[in-house]
Amino acid sequence: MTRAAGLDGVTEDLSRLMVEAFSNALVVADTRGLIVRVNAAAEHLFGVGRAELIGQPAELFDPNADGSMHRGDGSQVAVEFRNTRLPTPGGDYSVRELRDTANEKTTKTALRESELRYRRLFESAKDGILILDATTGMVVDVNPFLTSLMGFSHAEFLGKAVWELGFFRDQPASERMFSELREKEYMRYENLPLENRDGQAIEVEFVSNVYLVAGRKVIQCNIRDVTARRKTEAAVQELNTRLELRVAERTAQLEAANRELEAFSYSVSHDLRAPLRAMDGFSQAVLEDFGALLPEKGRSYLETIRAGSQQMGSLIDDLLTFSRLSRATAKREHIPTGDLVREVIHILAPDREGRRIDLRIGDLPDCIGDTALLKQVWVNLLSNALKYTRRKDLAVVEIGCQIQKDEPVFYVRDNGTGFDMRYAGKLFGVFQRLHRAEDFEGTGVGLAIVQRIVHRHGGAVWANATVDGGATFCFTLNDSLP
Amino acid sequence: MTPPSPVADILLVEDNPQDLELALRALRQAKLTKNIQVARDGAEALEYVFCEGPHTARRMEDAPRVILLDLKLPKIDGLEVLRRIKGDPRTQMIPVVVLTSSQEQRDVGKSYRLGVNGYIVKPVNFEQFVDAVQKLGMYWLLLNHPPISKG
C-alpha cells in the first residue's frame, strides 16, 4: 500500500461525518445481512439507539408492500426506500437509504392548507386588496371585493398598470403616487376619492406597503370603502351643529325670558307702587283737608283705603325680594353666626319695644354663605318669633344650634301661638298664611323667602309646633355651596 | 322777550302728576315751596340745568341747591340726566338726590357710580313719604353747606 494511511484516516472521518449529517436514514449491513453501521437519522426513524441496532438483521428497515416500515415501537411510517449493494473484497455489503415521506407530506399539506386559508381570506375580505408588481406597476392580483366595489372584472384589472385603472380620478397624480410609494415603500391615504365604473364617487382609506416575495418586490394595497363611514361622520357632524344651534337658540330664549322677567319686576317695582302711593297719599290729604266735613264712617272708609294700599305695598316689596332671590347669585363668605344674629336682634329693636322678652342665645358656630341673604333668614325667623309671642306676658325666644348627624342645625324656638301641624305643608308657600290677618299681620312671603335662601345654600328648613304651644324653626346650610 | 327763569332752590324732576302733587304737598307743609322748579321729563330737566330752550336767560352759576330726580322718566331717563350733570364740570357740583320707587340694586349701584349724592326710595305710606321729602328738603336747603354760595 503506497497510499498514505493518514489520508485514509481522514477520508474515513470525513465519510463518517457526512453519513451522520445526512438527513436520510442510512443502514449498512455486512455480508450476512447484519447491521454494522447506522446514522443518527436511522436511529431517529426507527426510534431505537444504534447500540441496539448494531448486529440486528438489516431487514428490519425493509418496507412492506404498501411502502411503510415498522418502527421499533411497532408503529408504521411511510418511507422511500433504496437498497444499494456495496461490493467489498470479502463479499457484498448493502446500504439501505430511507426517507420519511410522511413528514414531507404533512408539510406539503400544511402548505397547501395555509395557501388555501390565505386565498380564502383574500377572496372573502371586506376590504379591497390589490397586489402589484413593484417594478412595473402591473396588477398581479385583485380580490373580489375590490372588483365588485369598482365595477371592473378580474380580467380587466390584470395586466394593467395601476394608473391605467379607470377608477383613479386623477391619473397623473396616481402615477406620481406610485413612484412615491416605490421610494417610501409605505403610503397611507385617509381619504382617497375614487370613481367606480358607473362614475359614482367612492371614498376610500388606502394603505399600501412594499414587500419581498421570492426576491421580487410586490406592492400590496388595502382599500377600505369609507363612503358610509364618511356619510355617518358627516351626519353626526351635522347633528352636532344643529344641536349646538338649538342650544344657542334656547339659551337666547332663556336669556330673553330672564330679561323680560327682570323688566317685569322692575316695572312692578316702579310702576305699581306709584298708584298705591297716590291712593294712600290722597286719602290722607282728604282726611287732613276735609276730615272735619266727613262723617265718622267716611273717615273710616278712607282709613281702610289707606290700610289696603299699604298692605299691597308690603306685598309688592316682599314679592320683589322673593323674585330677586332667584336671580341673585349666592356668595360664599365666612360668617360669624353669633355676630350676625346679634346684629339682627339689634335691627328688630322696634319689635321688642315695651315687651317682656326672655331672649336666650346659645352657642352658634360660624357658617359659610351669603351674609346678606342669611341675614334675611334670621330677620324673618326672629321677627316671626317676636310677632307670634306678642300675646304672651313673657315671650321666650331661644336661638341655638344642635349637631345632628354631624351637621349643625340652627333653630329659633318660641313659646308663641304656634300652629296646627296639619297645615305645616303650607307653611313655606308664597302667600300662604296659617293665621288670620286681623290676628297677626303679614304677607305670607317671609317663610317662602327663608326657604328659598336656605335651598340656595343647599340646606333644608322645617318646623315643629303645637297650637298655643310655641313653634321651632330649624334649618341647615350645606357648607359645600354650589 | 321771555322773563328770566326764577332762581330755584329745588329742581324737582317728576313725571307722575300724583307723586308730584304729593311731593309738593309735603314740601308745602314743611314751608319749603318758595323756590321750586319742576321738570316733567329728563329733557326738561337738562334744559333747565344747562340753561337751554326756555331757560337760555338763566345763568349757569344760579344752580339749584339740590336736584330731586326720579329715575323712570319720559324722553331722557333719570340715570342719563344724572350722567350728564355729573359728567359736566359746570354742573357736577350740584347735589343730586335720586327719589324713586325703584329699589333695584342695579339702579342704586349705577346711580352711585355716576356720583349721586343720595338715593331715597319713595315709601308707599304717605306719612313716611312726607317725612322723607321734608327731611330731604330740610337737609339740603337748611343744613347742608352748598358748593357755590349765592351772592
What's the whole-number mean pLDDT along residues A226-234? 87
| Predicted pLDDT at A336 | 94
Q: What percent of chain A has pLDDT over 90?
A: 25
Calculate how close chain A gets to B5, using CA atoms only, in Å: 30
Asked if the structure places residue B1 within a domain, the reply is: no
What's the whole-number mean pLDDT along residues A77-92? 87
Calculate how close chain A gets to B124, using CA atoms only, in Å: 5
Size of interface A-B (CB pairs under 8 A): 62
CB atoms A313 and B125 under 8 Å: yes
Q: What percent of chain A has pLDDT over 70?
A: 95
CATH of the domain at B69: 3.40.50.2300
Query: Contact at 8 Å (CB) between A403 and A367?
Result: no
d(CA A39, CA A17): 10
Q: Which of A273, A314, A443 to substitute to test the interface with B, most B CBs within 10 Å? A: A273
Question: Tens of pLDDT along A425-459?
Answer: 888 887 777 777 777 777 788 898 899 899 888 89
| Reported pTM | 0.50
Expressed as residue numbers, the domain containing B65 is 10-143
Q: Per the structure, how many domains does chain B have?
A: 1
**CB-closest option in A266, A281, A320 to B129:** A281
Interface of B with A (CB under 8 A): 16, 18-19, 22, 25, 71-72, 100-105, 122-127, 129
The average confidence (pLDDT) of chain A is 85
Asked if the structure places residue B4 within a domain, the reply is: no
What's the whole-number mean pLDDT along residues B110-128? 90
How far apart, in Å, do the first and last CA atoms of chain A sit? 114
What's the whole-number mean pLDDT along residues A210-238? 86
Q: Select from 3.50.50.60, 3.30.565.10, 3.90.105.10, 3.40.50.720 the CATH code of A330-475.
A: 3.30.565.10
Q: Looking at residue A424, what DSSP letter applies?
A: G
CB atoms B126 and A306 under 8 Å: yes
pLDDT above 90: residue A70:
no
List, as one string, the DSSP characters of A73-104.
Answer: TS-EEEEEEEEEEEEETTEEEEEEEEEEHHHH
Query: Contact at 8 Å (CB) between A58 and A46?
Result: no
| Predicted pLDDT at A11 | 76
Q: List the single range of A120-124, A363-367, A422-426 with lowest mean pLDDT.
A: A422-426
| Residue A98 CB contacts under 8 Å (≥ 6 apart), including other chains | A24, A25, A27, A42, A45, A61, A63, A69, A79, A80, A81, A82
Q: Which of B22, B69, B124, B133 to substitute to test the interface with A, most A CBs within 10 Å? A: B124
Calculate how close chain A gets to B125, using CA atoms only, in Å: 6
| Predicted pLDDT at A283 | 92
Q: What percent of chain B has pLDDT over 70?
A: 93
d(CA B40, CA A386): 45
List, as one string, the DSSP characters of B59-99.
Answer: -TTS--SEEEE-SS-SSS-HHHHHHHHHTSTTTTTS-EEEE
Q: What angle do CA A183, A185, A191 make, to 5 degrees?
A: 105
Domain spanning A125-225: CATH superfamily: PAS domain (3.30.450.20)
pLDDT above 80: residue A174:
no
Asked if the structure places residue B149 within a domain, the reply is: no
Q: Which of A264, A277, A315, A376 to substitute to test the interface with B, most B CBs within 10 Å? A: A277
Calculate how close chain A gets to B113, using CA atoms only, in Å: 20
CB atoms B125 and A280 under 8 Å: yes
CB atoms B25 and A281 under 8 Å: yes
**CB-closest option in B102, B103, B126 to A281:** B126
Q: Which three cell numbers stand for residue A297?
A: 264712617
| Predicted pLDDT at B78 | 93
- Residues facing residue A474 across a β-bridge: A411, A462
Provide the pairing of β-strand A128-133 with A91-100: unpaired
A287 or A8: which carries more pLDDT confidence?
Answer: A287
Confidence at A189, pLDDT banded by 50, 70, 90: confident
- The residue type of B81 is V
CB atoms B22 and A277 under 8 Å: yes
Q: CB burial class (10 A; 0-12, 13-18, 19+) of residue B69?
A: buried
How many Å separate Cα A366 from the centre of its chain?
41
Residues of B in contact with A283 (CB under 8 A): 126
Residues of B in contact with A315 (CB under 8 A): none
| Predicted pLDDT at B148 | 66
Question: Tens of pLDDT along B45-95?
Answer: 999 999 998 988 888 888 898 999 998 888 888 999 999 999 999 999 999
d(CA A470, CA B1): 76
Q: List the single range of A5-14, A48-57, A375-384, B7-16 with lowest mean pLDDT.
A: A5-14
Asked if the structure places residue B121 within a domain, the reply is: yes
Q: Which three cell numbers stand for residue A208?
A: 399600501
What fold does the segment set A5-105 form as a domain?
Beta-Lactamase (3.30.450)
Question: Tens of pLDDT along A2-44?
Answer: 444 455 667 777 878 888 888 888 999 999 989 998 998 889 8
Q: CB burial class (10 A; 0-12, 13-18, 19+) of residue A179?
A: exposed
| Predicted pLDDT at B106 | 82
pLDDT above 60: residue A362:
yes
ipTM score assigned to the predicted complex: 0.74
Q: CB burial class (10 A; 0-12, 13-18, 19+) of residue A396?
A: middle
pLDDT above 50: residue A476:
yes
What's the whole-number mean pLDDT along residues A147-163? 83
Confidence at A246, pLDDT banded by 50, 70, 90: very high
| Predicted pLDDT at A170 | 67
d(CA A96, CA A24): 10
Calculate how close chain A gets to B4, using CA atoms only, in Å: 34
Asked if the structure places residue B25 within a domain, the reply is: yes
Nearest to A210 by CA among A221, A201, A200: A221
- Residues facing residue A225 across a β-bridge: A204
Query: Contact at 8 Å (CB) between A403 and A370?
Result: no
List, as one string, the DSSP characters of A114-157.
Answer: HHHHHHHHHHH-SSEEEEEETTT-BEEEE-HHHHHHHT--HHHH
CB atoms A278 and B104 under 8 Å: no
